[in-house]
Structure 1
Amino acid sequence: MVDGARILIVEDDKDLARMLQDLLGSEGYATTLARDGQRALHEGLTNSFDVLLLDRGLPVIDGLSVLMKLRDRGVITPALILSALANPADRVEGLDRGAEDYLPKPFDIDELLARLRALLRRPRSMAHVLRFPGGSFDTDSRTASLANSVVVLLSEREGSLLAHLAKRPNQVFARGELLDAVFPDADDRGVVDTYVHYLRKKIGRKAVLTIRGVGYQLGHIDEA
């Protein structure tokens, strides 16, 4: 057990959620509970966790969709799926969608704890490093490495925006697409423009290109 490790529990069954919180709390873990997919997505994007404990069958947004959205935004926190869907095809789908482990319900408590310990032992060096013209972005530390060995720390939202653009460098994203993908809790598309401005200010005015009448695209680092 890693003392004080932070675990996001995503489970809509109240009794099971309470049992998991009590169990993990007694083991020394710090837990946060989300009872639907929308809340899980919000927590995963705005807070830092060591493991995601994720149910598949969730209200609002299903568990696999939550995981895919988090992965798409550069969140690489190890995920253990708990699900009553237990046949091999279900397990394969869960692993292919970005989970590190999959445990069918009902599960053995000792096995659950052992699998959590195994995930927590994984080295953080397994983080993604996204390359872009003139630099790179480490999605784990949220640091952008620029020319001349300059390293810039980005906020959670700035990092999510850069990661989303960098994963599809040739694609032009409409503001609405970026709003849904990176800022799911915001209603005003102006938040996209605001964070594009922040990125340009931190890593270069040409880091994000404006495609007039369409939206934004990954650019390159302006060394000037």
Structure 2
Amino acid sequence: MRLLLVEDDPELSEMLTDTLSDEGYDVDQAADGQRGLHLGLTRTYDVMVIDRLLPALDGLDLLARLRSRAVPARALMLTALGTVADRIAGLDAGADDYLAKPFDLDELSARLRALCRRVPDSAGALRVGRGLIDLAVRDVVLPGGGRVSLSAREFELLRVLAARPHQVHSRAQLRTRVFDEAAAASLVDTYVYYLRRKLGRDVVRTVHGLGYRLGAL
């Protein structure tokens, strides 16, 4: 398993890196939020451990930005802020689990193992920000847990965008991949409108003069 550790305390970071490496994780370290954002967007990880209070970019902002770019890695947030409101804020930002400092290393390891066991489930889903496309039933799972059903063409259009979340797709490319090539190019715009009407305007982003790319829920 590849693991991204974003922690600004050098002693804690080294201790966690040594411990997690001994447990078989391939660990990359980042000492601030900006470095964590760069690694999270340019490399693929199975799980991330992110401190809540980071220099350069706060842990909540870091995680929210990664989720907005459809980074699917499971995330465990570490924090000295242990109130219920703080935990809720972390989970709302896209964390899958939340562990308050000081913590027991055995508990951290157990929580990471639990998160990693959930990673294979992502084979049947694609991330859309903090939501998911359930590939088995052609539904979108919203961040709050609700589901929205899509038509066959709505689903295929969103699936194509989510499969390459950082790529800008031209209307011609989307027409070829989703619709009959004989269809009018305006049909792409029509189905983008349908998706936005069902899932919110941010689900598909317009890149003016170029086409569309995946947004977020």
Give the structure-2-normalised TM-score. Answer: 0.64
Q: CA separation of 1:108/1:126 partners in 2, compared to 1, >3 Å: closer, same or farther?
A: farther
Counterpart CA distance in 1 for 2:161 and 2:43 is: 14
CA RMSD, 1 decimal: 3.0
The Cα of 1:209 is off from its aligned counterpart by: 4.6
Paired residue secondary structure (2:27): strand
Counterpart CA distance in 1 for 2:64 and 2:212 is: 21
Partner amino acid, structure 2, of 1:127: L
Counterpart CA distance in 2 for 1:170 and 1:140 is: 10
1:136 corresponds to: 158
1:115 corresponds to: 111
The Cα of 1:127 is off from its aligned counterpart by: 3.0
Q: CA separation of 1:171/1:21 partners in 2, compared to 1, >3 Å: closer, same or farther?
A: closer
Equivalent residues in 2 for 1:141-156, closer than 5 Å: 142=164, 146-147=177-178
The Cα of 1:147 is off from its aligned counterpart by: 2.5
Q: CA separation of 1:94/1:170 partners in 2, compared to 1, >3 Å: closer, same or farther?
A: closer
The answer to whether the aligner puts 1:18 opposite 2:14 as a matched pair is: yes
2:23 corresponds to: 27
1:153 corresponds to: none
- The superposition leaves residues 25-67 of structure 1 with CA deviations (integer Å, 9 ceiling, x where unpaired) of 1101100000000000000000000001000111100000000
The Cα of 1:138 is off from its aligned counterpart by: 6.3
1:127 corresponds to: 126
Partner amino acid, structure 2, of 1:82: L
**Which stretch of structure 1 is more off in the superposition, 127-136 or 87-96?**
127-136
1:87 corresponds to: 83
- Return 5+ residue gaps in structure 1 as ranges: 150-165, 173-207, 211-215, 220-224
- Return 5+ residue gaps in structure 2 as ranges: 128-132, 134-139, 141-149, 181-199
Q: CA separation of 1:26/1:140 partners in 2, compared to 1, >3 Å: closer, same or farther?
A: farther
Counterpart CA distance in 1 for 2:161 and 2:37 is: 17
Aligned residues: 159
- The superposition leaves residues 183-219 of structure 1 with CA deviations (integer Å, 9 ceiling, x where unpaired) of xxxxxxxxxxxxxxxxxxxxxxxxx552xxxxx6638
- The superposition leaves residues 139-165 of structure 1 with CA deviations (integer Å, 9 ceiling, x where unpaired) of 87538993279xxxxxxxxxxxxxxxx
Paired residue secondary structure (2:61): helix
Identity within the alignment, %: 45
Q: CA separation of 1:167/1:105 partners in 2, compared to 1, >3 Å: closer, same or farther?
A: farther
1:75 corresponds to: 71
Paired residue secondary structure (2:159): strand
Structure 1 residue ranges (4+ consecutive) displaced by more than 4 angstroms after TM superposition: 130-134, 138-141, 169-172
The answer to whether the aligner puts 1:62 opposite 2:58 as a matched pair is: yes
Give the structure-1-normalised TM-score. Answer: 0.62
Partner amino acid, structure 1, of 2:202: R
